[in-house]
Amino acid sequence: MRSSELSVRISRRLTHDIASGAIAAGQHVGTQQVADRYGVSRTPVREALSTLEGAGLLKRQANRGYFVPNGIAETAQQWLEDQNKATIDPYQMLANDWLVNKLPEEVTEQYLRQTYGWTKSRVNEILLRANREGWVERKAGYGWRFLPVAKTPEAFDQIYRFRLSIEPAAMMEPTFALDRKVLDEQRRLQDQMLDTDLGGVPDETLLANGSTFHEEIIQLSGNPFFLMSLQRVNRMRRLMEYRAKIDRGRLVEQCTEHLEILDLLESGDVVGASYKMRQHLSGALKRKSPLAWSWASDADVDRDAD
């Protein structure tokens, strides 16, 4: 991927985080910090920071670097909306066509180049990203195969039953240990969500915040395999979630339940927190069950962001 393309993606991710409050007003935004946050190199990060400075979303202070201005969230949201109107994400285009059965189960890179008019490098970039997200795999011989994970109501049901098995259990691990910094940051994010007009927050940010809460809590288990497993299934379901209509009214209840879990952990009641996590995920499973989905070729069905 060329740096200019990657820097655009970093710019948008940073702006999503600023608009949602994940990166708070007044916070320092360092080049290495961003590179580590998104798993990229420093060069495209510098380009992204410069872009956001030009858009007025970051301010550069001499000898100190970039900072998030106060009261910038609404401006950041408008910038994102303008960017989304101006461009169509090829990755989301491919994902959507797969979800509505416009593509065969197996394709070649040449087929995708001819179908979408993409360059060889663009096709390779998109397929590798889809492979990382868990919905495309390279065939043993030649070509690529789309996977049915999280494409059906049944797959979502299986994912949430799996999460019900591992997330409460991870909190009961003998190596589970509280991290005050993690809990404080998650509390800040949940409070920020409750204090924000969620109607203006991008779906991608809402979904990311929900996933991050659960991944940060399961990481406290001290068992990396719990975290790896949850991250894997979260990537699998994200494909469908992006296309769905998020039930923003449910987000208040979701954030409140997250805060209740944090309260129990901070009070030392890990058993109670584990039970509350099970209740929390059970409720999500009932809302996302195949019967509740009313599955159709369109995805105008409300979803949680959890």
| Rounded average pLDDT per 10-residue block, the chain, 306 residues | 67 84 88 86 89 89 89 80 68 84 92 92 90 86 84 80 96 96 93 74 72 95 96 78 63 91 97 96 74 42 57
Cβ neighbours for 197, distance < 8 A, ≥ 6 positions apart: none
Quick one: 9 and 73 in the same domain? yes
Q: Of the candidates 111, 131, 146, which is a domain's last residue?
A: 146
Domain final position from 86, 115, 130: 86
pLDDT score of 156: 79
Residues 78 and 108 in one domain: no
pLDDT at 172: 97
Spatial distance between the Cα atoms of 272 and 260, rounded to a whole number of angstroms? 10
Confidence (pLDDT) at 107: 95
pLDDT of residue 204: 66
For residues 192 and 299, membership in a common domain is answered with yes
Q: Are residues 45 and 179 in the same domain?
A: no
Same domain, 258 and 295: yes
* Residues 181 and 253 reside in one and the same domain: yes
Structural domain harbouring 215 = 153-303
d(CA 252, CA 243): 21
Are 190 and 292 found together in one domain?
yes
Q: Looking at residue 276, which CATH number applies to its domain? A: 1.20.120.530
- The reply to whether 250 and 295 lie within a common domain is yes
**CATH code at position 101:** 1.10.10
Reduced 3-state DSSP string for 23-90: CCCCCEECHHHHHHHHCCCHHHHHHHHHHHHHCCCCEEECCCEEECCCCCHHHHHHHHHHHHHHCCCH
> What CATH number is associated with residue 75?
1.10.10.10
Same domain, 226 and 257: yes
Tell me whether residue 162 is exposed, middle or buried, using C-beta atoms within 10 angstroms of its C-beta: 0 to 12, 13 to 18, 19 or more.
middle
Per the structure, the count of domains in the chain is: 3
Do 181 and 280 fall within a single domain? Answer: yes
Q: In one letter, which amino acid is 259?
A: L
**Do 51 and 161 share a domain, yes or no?**
no
Q: What is the distance in angstroms between the CA of the first residue and the CA of the last residue of the chain?
A: 30
Same domain, 54 and 161: no
